């Protein structure tokens, strides 16, 4: 195990760290997060409008359509918000004027939505245009950066107010960005969304499959075991896919159809985020019942944050980081629970995720709300907690036994190259 960790640290940690620290990846991660609050609002109204209770639709009557307005509006502008968010954050990373940059990117994206009748279509302002919006944002900001860096901008006297100055400074790169979008959409008539869909289809299909999902979660947890926030490293790539899948599920739910996607934002609540990344709620529960004073106190201190999916105190306090013994259940718990969850959703035994909820929503409640009120999903989360306890149990007992020996007056010794408490 130690040899594997050493190999992974030397060969892959530097590469994955560079990916996570890349400016574009940071901008994608921060930019897409702007969509989350709006999506949560829409999901809340969606659940209320289509709550799965007999007679609910009849009870609401015409008011159901009124409840649909916030959901339709929020889901219908996801691409616009993502374009602004990614452009704004990338401009900040490149130290160019962020507000004007985001407006330029938004304008360029809207221009790409020119249809065959030379009319701006709003059909792809929602989830369908999410990926194109992010790509347009990246290209637009890089064009602006190039022009500003080479001083190919309109120069005004220093006496001009800063906001006016920055607006005119962006004039030439803004024109270039709009021209690029216009040439593709208006002159050449290329459907950029269709092109991007073909290019990204292998990636989307990979993450949407069970093997791809497990590979993603495996490396996410493995990075955490090495002290790196694995969620942050991969979310720039995976979250847009998960968010797009969730929006499709929400639309299907509102139409009364079965949600088409299993791998959507929120499936993480069924094991991966159960108490935090690694499904550590089971470990916290074990610590609370531990005879070892250290673990008992740590369990009592971390149960509160753990219920709200915050587990850094456990990850770094137990610790799990650089602990070959505990990294096994830390990785194994999400793999097992997500695998079973995927199969349960595939065979429609439990509902699929159709609503965005705050990531701090406690287990059981999160399963119920995320699936649009499916009590079976809430019950399954309880089972996931029990599975988490069962997987962590033997590994925790090894650490507990060593800690009890220390508390009884024993000494520390090295076991398998890792310093743990023992006699």
**Is the bond preceding 331 in cis, omega lying within 30 degrees of 0?**
no
157: exposed, middle or buried (C-beta count within 10 Å: 0-12, 13-18, 19+)? exposed
d(C-alpha 392, C-alpha 327), whole Å = 10
Contact predicate 298/230, CB 8 Å: no
Q: What angle do CA 100, 101, 103 make, to 5 degrees?
A: 65
Residue 205, SS3 per DSSP = helix
Tens of pLDDT, residue by residue over 330-342, are 999 999 999 999 9
Tens of pLDDT, residue by residue over 397-413, are 988 988 898 888 765 54
Contact predicate 281/385, CB 8 Å: yes
Contact predicate 74/124, CB 8 Å: no
Tens of pLDDT, residue by residue over 195-251, are 887 777 777 778 889 999 999 999 899 888 877 778 877 877 788 889 889 989 998
d(C-alpha 151, C-alpha 157), whole Å = 15
Q: How many CB atoms lie within 10 A of CB 22?
A: 14
154: exposed, middle or buried (C-beta count within 10 Å: 0-12, 13-18, 19+)? exposed
Contact predicate 273/220, CB 8 Å: no
pLDDT at 281 over 90: yes
pTM of structure: 0.74
Tens of pLDDT, residue by residue over 186-206, are 888 888 888 887 777 777 778
- Pick the residue with more confidence: 398 or 7? 398
Instruction: Compute the mean pLDDT over every residue in the chain, rounded to the nearest whole number.
Output: 85
Band (416; pLDDT cuts 50, 70, 90): very low
For the chain, the domains span 19-208, 258-421
């Amino acid at each position: 195990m130690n040899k594997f960790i050493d190999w992974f640290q030397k060969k892959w940690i530097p590469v994955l760290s560079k990916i996570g620290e890349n400016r574009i990846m940071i901008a994608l991660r921060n930019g897409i997060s702007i969509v989350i609050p709006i999506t949560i609002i829409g999901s809340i109204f969606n659940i209320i409008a289509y709550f799965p209770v007999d007679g609910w639709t009849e009870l609401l009557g015409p008011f159901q359509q009124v409840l649909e307005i916030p959901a339709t509006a929020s889901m219908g502008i996801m691409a616009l918000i993502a374009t602004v968010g990614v452009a704004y954050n990338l401009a900040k990373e490149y130290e160019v004027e962020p507000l004007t940059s985001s407006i330029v990117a938004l304008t360029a994206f809207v221009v790409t939505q020119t249809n065959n009748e030379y009319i701006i279509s709003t059909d792809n302002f929602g989830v369908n245009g999410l990926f194109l919006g992010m790509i347009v944002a990246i290209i637009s900001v890089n064009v602006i950066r190039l022009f500003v860096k080479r001083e190919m901008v309109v120069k005004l006297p220093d006496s001009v107010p800063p906001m006016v100055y920055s607006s005119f400074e962006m004039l030439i790169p803004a024109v270039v960005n709009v021209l690029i979008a216009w040439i593709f959409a208006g002159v050449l008539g290329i459907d950029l969304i269709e092109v991007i869909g073909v290019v990204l289809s292998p990636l989307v299909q990979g993450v949407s499959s069970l093997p791809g999902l497990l590979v993603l979660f495996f490396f996410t947890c493995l990075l955490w075991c090495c002290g790196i926030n694995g969620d942050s490293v991969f979310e720039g790539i995976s979250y847009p896919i998960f968010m797009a899948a969730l929006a499709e599920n929400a639309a299907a739910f509102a139409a009364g159809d079965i949600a088409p996607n299993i791998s959507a934002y929120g499936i993480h609540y069924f094991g991966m985020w159960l108490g935090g990344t690694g499904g550590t709620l089971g470990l916290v529960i074990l610590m609370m019942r531990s005879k070892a004073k250290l673990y008992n106190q740590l369990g009592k201190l971390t149960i509160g944050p753990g219920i709200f999916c915050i587990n850094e105190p456990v990850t770094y306090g137990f610790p799990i980081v650089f602990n070959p013994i505990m990294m096994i259940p830390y990785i194994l718990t999400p793999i097992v629970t997500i695998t079973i969850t995927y199969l349960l959703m595939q065979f429609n035994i439990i509902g699929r995720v159709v609503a965005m909820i705050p990531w701090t929503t406690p287990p059981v409640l999160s399963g119920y709300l995320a699936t649009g009120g499916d009590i079976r999903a809430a019950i399954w989360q309880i089972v996931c907690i029990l599975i988490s306890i069962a997987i962590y149990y033997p590994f925790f007992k090894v650490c507990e036994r060593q800690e009890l020996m220390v508390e009884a007056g024993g000494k520390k010794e090295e076991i398998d190259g890792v310093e743990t408490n023992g006699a």
